[in-house]
Structure 1
């Protein structure tokens, strides 16, 4: 972990420090609500690094609300994780199903919009690589109340349903702005009370 951050961060901020144990030392579902600019992306990265500690070639899916954020995330994580454990393959979906199935097979982290993941995961029974996604990072989860909300709700509900049918666990880590109903949202994604973090907007 030190190698991933030693060039950019001397110490983690207060929010990162408080959520670290829940994200890096457990496999529980977690909700992190914190103000814009508090580096919540690094909190999500703790869950990625936890996943990679298992060294079992598990893949992760990171859902971003808009394509421009997908592109930023892919560029950032390719720089940051390109040399982790021999190099992690960070891919973004295209919206073209046959190409995306190939990307899903080769990617360690699949970054996509809610609608792109909805299309791929809809036929999860026929797609083993969808069933075996071990971590879903749902970013900007506060937008569940906006235009991407219905699709976001569908893919998170599906992500929680599939393990109940396959007995292959998928961890859900949701990050977003501070919310008035954080406990409700955290419980909906399956996070225990001690893994629901909602910091003051200021």
Structure 2
């Protein structure tokens, strides 16, 4: 009963009223649409802070128990020579172990012995759900193969921060929603400013009447 009453009050107070006019119309539009987009703004803010502040990202990793990857500066060995034969060998080994994928990124060690492929499998959860496989072209062995689907829920969420931020986590519909709610920010600025100006004018009129 209590849940029904709360739901009734919530939905009733957040229904757009087209019959309203003037400042009442602006106020209704500002508050009603604002309530509807709050969940999406919260997702955008809470995920966006991840890249802005180290203390915030560190706290998330501590809470989830997921180890934070250290940012390592790229190393370049001037004596390293990238051999077409070695790359082809790595690609062949990769294709032997991975059958279905949409795109790949490749990294190799200075000695061109170990190749790491980050790849997006066919029909992924989202575009950031990358798998990783590490191959040794000398022994033709798989050193490590990490799949997104095998990770814990906490790891999946931490790997999906960017996808949540952009809405890609929920597919095309999610991207459209996040794009639309971002555009609506201008609506709140305009309606808020119009209501502020309206209140100022009202106060000035009341002050003039009081003087008379």
Measured against the shorter chain, the TM-score band is under 0.3
Q: TM-score, normalised by structure 2?
A: 0.26
Of structures 1 and 2, the one with the larger relative CO (CA 8 A, separation 6+) is: 1
From the CA coordinates, give the structure whose radius of gyration is larger: 2
Normalized per residue, the structure richer in helix is 2
